[in-house]
Amino acid sequence: MKWTYSIKNKLTASGALFLLCILVLFSNYIDRTHTENVKNAISTLYEDRLIAEEFILKMTSGFYQIKEEINSDSNDINKISKVNNLLAEIESVSDAYQKTKFTAVETKKAEELLIILKELKSNHHNIQNKLEFSKKALVILNELSAIQLAESKKIMDHAEKLYLSGKTSSQFVFVIIVIILIVLQALVFTSKSLISNTKYPNLN
């Protein structure tokens, strides 16, 4: 009945090889999926957070310039002219900022900022009112900047979890592959022993 044992070994070996191929393909799929997820997380960090933070910094700088201009010794006519020019630049940056991805909290703050910009552009406010609205805008921009930092940290934590998850999965698949290879090696040695016994039967 050694031939039945040989067939059983061959079937086991074939099954092990098939499982090995599946595991290799699965491992490759997991690696590609996790790599893509990490790339998407980094892309989100750049496109929706770092770029947004750059817009916030530009607007913050513009409002500080408005404050400096209002507090300068220039006459009110010159002040209003320069402030309006700065507001036009801030509004342009704000338009670009509005196109970035917002959380619910960011949406609310961004809407508040738009209201202040509209108030600042109004000709019904004197120069002192423009100063007060600029201060309010700076408070909102500071809050938006803090949100960017918090969201960026969340994205980085998520990317780290994805990396660790992918690493753990790869290690697990690697261990399974090693076990299958050991099983295959054992089957090879068993087959060799069986062939040796068949060729040289005991004549005693």
Give the list of residues 6+ apart from residue 199 with CB closer than 8 angstroms, or none: none
How does pLDDT run across 17-40, given as a tens digit for each residue?
Answer: 777 777 777 777 777 777 777 777
Q: What is the pLDDT of residue 3?
A: 42
Domain locations along the chain? 29-191
pLDDT digits (tens, 9 = 90+) for 125-179: 577 788 888 999 999 999 999 998 888 888 888 777 777 777 777 777 777 777 7
In DSSP notation, 108-144 reads HHHHHHHHHHHHHH-TTS-HHHHHHHHHHHHHHHHHH
Class of 29-191 in CATH: mainly alpha
Q: pTM of the full predicted structure?
A: 0.66
